[in-house]
């Protein structure tokens, strides 16, 4: 079992066409977020999972509440969506902790408002079973 909290902000991969070919890239803020998460994971000295083991990823994304946000909005149902956060997280974990992000066979995601004043992830990774 691996569980930790990491500070992060950013968006998922973006795409464009250059000379008739698709190009995928990250915004500079996303690259900074990727590096911050990878640095935290490296600093924790967590033993990586072996290849070909099914994994369960449970993650809660804590977002900062915008100043203009409605007080009635109890959960963050605005963009960015969970899939953008998930892809960013999988891109961070796959070279370090998980050999291939295809090993995630179960994913449970939640988006919540942060009470700390900054955005962060709560993450738990376990071996998945039926």
- Which tens digits make up the pLDDT trace of 72-101? 788 888 777 788 778 888 888 887 888 888
Q: Report the alpha-carbon distance of residue 64 to residue 83 in Å, rounded.
A: 18
Q: In a 10 Å sphere around its CB, with 0-12 CB exposed, 13-18 middle and 19+ buried, how is residue 118 labelled?
A: exposed
CB 96 within 8 A of CB 49: no
Q: What pTM, to 2 d.p., does this model score?
A: 0.71
Closest CA to 55 of 122, 109, 128: 128
């Amino acid at each position: 079992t691996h569980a930790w909290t990491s500070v992060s902000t950013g968006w998922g991969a973006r795409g464009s066409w250059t000379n008739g070919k698709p190009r995928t890239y990250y915004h500079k803020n996303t690259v900074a977020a990727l590096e911050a998460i990878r640095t935290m994971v490296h600093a924790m000295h967590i033993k990586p999972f072996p290849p070909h083991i099914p994994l369960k990823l449970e993650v809660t994304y804590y977002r900062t509440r915008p100043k203009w946000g409605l007080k009635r909005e109890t959960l963050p149902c605005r963009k960015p969506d969970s899939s953008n956060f998930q892809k960013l997280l999988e891109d961070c974990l796959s070279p370090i902790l998980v050999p291939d992000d295809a090993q995630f066979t179960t994913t449970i995601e939640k988006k919540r408002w942060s009470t700390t004043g900054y955005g962060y992830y709560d993450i738990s990774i376990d071996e998945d079973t039926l």
